[in-house]
Structure formats: C-alpha cells, structure tokens
Structure 1
Amino acid sequence: MDIKLELIGVPVTDIDRAKAFYERVGFHTDHDIPVSEEVRFVQMTPPGSACSIAFGKGITEMAPGSLDNMQVVVASIEEAHGDLSARGIDVSAIDDQPWGSFVYFADPDGNRWSVQQTTPRGK
C-alpha cells in the first residue's frame, strides 16, 4: 500500500500576505477558494513537488508561526540561495553540514523553512 504525503497545513494570520510571500518564493497557486464565510482554502505547491501546502481561514488550529523546520530539497544550494535572494527573500548564508548543505528562511508569520542540498557542497 502506498501512503503519499500530499498536503501540509501552514498556520498564518493574513491569508493574502502569506499567498503573496509564497508566490514570491516560487510556489504555484493551485487553489484559492472561499468555501464559506468560515472557510477559505489556499493550496500552493513548490515547483516539482508532489506535496503542497495549504493555509487560509478554518484550515488549521495551530498557532500562526508555530510550524518549524519544513524542509524542501534542491539539486543546487547555491542556485537556491541565489534565486531566493533575487526574489527578495531574507535567506540565511549557506550552512554546510556533513549530511548536506542548507539555507533557511521564514514566512511573515515566522513559520520556518530549510532548503537542503542532500550532498554537501564539494563532495
């Protein structure tokens, strides 16, 4: 039996601000649906990913900014760092570890992300 992770809820305070931020990061908007007065569902997907994020009104009970260490993987950490920086994202310097190279950023609510190149640079 396959079990596929396809959607992660991200707690945010301002739906439109979060949507604009994730668009700037490069995520594609799959859905932005006002379901009712109590529910607005926004789904966005990073390029090349089978897993999406969702946020909006009535989506999660987590506190905004409480999501920690969401991780995406890239082929080139230098390219990811340059791309995020060029898009105006406040991204950390490259952090080389024995198990991979990373950069880090947070969305406007403080939900934290890491971007990993799985093989350390120079290996």
Structure 2
Amino acid sequence: MEYTLEVIGVPVSDLDRAKEFYESKCGFHVDLDGDVMPGVRLIQLTPPGSGCSIMLSIGIWETSPGPTPEPGSLQGLQLCVPDIKQAHAELTARGLDVSEPVQYAEQDGATFMYFTDPDGNGWSVQEYRVRAGTPLREAIGP
C-alpha cells in the first residue's frame, strides 16, 4: 500500500489575510474556499506543480483529536524548486519578503531561502536541481 501526503494544515488567525498571502504573495492556487460543516470554513491552496496542498481553517482543529495548534506555531514547511534564483525573483516580484538564497554546501539540495506567513508559520525553499529533469521517485530511487 502506498500512502501520499496530500494536505498539511497550517494554523492561522485570520483566514482572509492568510488566503490573500498564500494566493497573491506565494502564487498558490485556491482549490477550495467554503464552509465544510457548521461554523467551519476551510480554504485549501496548492503550490504550483505540487501534489500536496495546505489547509487553512479556523474551527477544524477542534473536530480532531490532539491539541489545537496556535497560529504561527508551524515551522519547517518546505517547498522545493529546480532554480532558486528564479524562484527568488518570482517571489520578490510578488512582494514576498523572502531571504536571499544561502548555499550551505556544494551538493544539490543544499541551497535554501526562507520566509514566514503573516502569523509567523515558517517556510523554507530548497533548490533541488535534479528535479528539473527527473521526477522525484526517479531521483531518489525506490
């Protein structure tokens, strides 16, 4: 049985502000925006080219087991791109406050840049050049 990671919940304090940020500044596609149950609005957005989406919601956390995450408490979300300089140019042109790319080592996969959403949820963008021509499954093997 294969399992795919499809949606990651991102805790935010203001749904409309977060939707505007992810759609306008990050370029994510809005897949869904609506009430999914009484008192629960859900917004699902997908980064261009990604098979995994993010879910923004206020009220959904109370319907699942475990603690309710605080807005801004999610850190370590990671996007991968084949060309970090191009991604930096696109994101800054959209008005996103993203750090300059930092190369930590020479090998592919060791260059990153960083940003946060309006609540402080932390993101990194990793350059992984092999993905430009090789799908992930082929790049990393079985």
Larger Rg, first or second structure (1 or 2): 2
Aligned to 2:117: 107
Structure 1: where are the runs of 5+ without partners?
A: none
**Deviation of 1:53 (Å):** 0.2
Question: 2:10 aligns to what?
Answer: 10
TM-fit CA distance, 1:19 = 0.1
Name the CA distance, whole Å, in 2 between partners of 1:89 and 1:96: 20
Cα shift at 1:16: 0.1
Q: Which residue of structure 2 aligns with residue 66 of structure 1?
A: 73
Matches within 5 A, 1:25-104: 25-60=26-61, 61-98=68-105, 99-104=109-114
Gap regions ≥5 residues in structure 2 = 62-67, 130-142
How far apart, CA to CA, are the structure 2 residues paired with 1:82 and 1:100? 19
Secondary structure in 1 matching 2:34: strand
The structure carrying a bigger helix percent of its residues is 2
Q: Percent identity?
A: 53
Query: Normalised by the size of structure 1, how large is the TM-score?
Result: 0.92
Q: Secondary structure of the equivalent of 2:44?
A: strand
> Are the aligned partners of 2:73 and 2:120 in contact in 1 as well (CA < 8 Å)?
yes
Paired letter, 1:11: P
Cα RMSD of the aligned pairs, angstroms, is 1.1
CA distance in structure 1 between the aligned counterparts of 2:128 and 2:110, rounded to whole angstroms: 5
* Alignment partners' CA distance in 2, 1:11 and 1:97: 30
Instruction: Give the paired residue count.
Output: 119
AA in 2 matched with 1:6: E
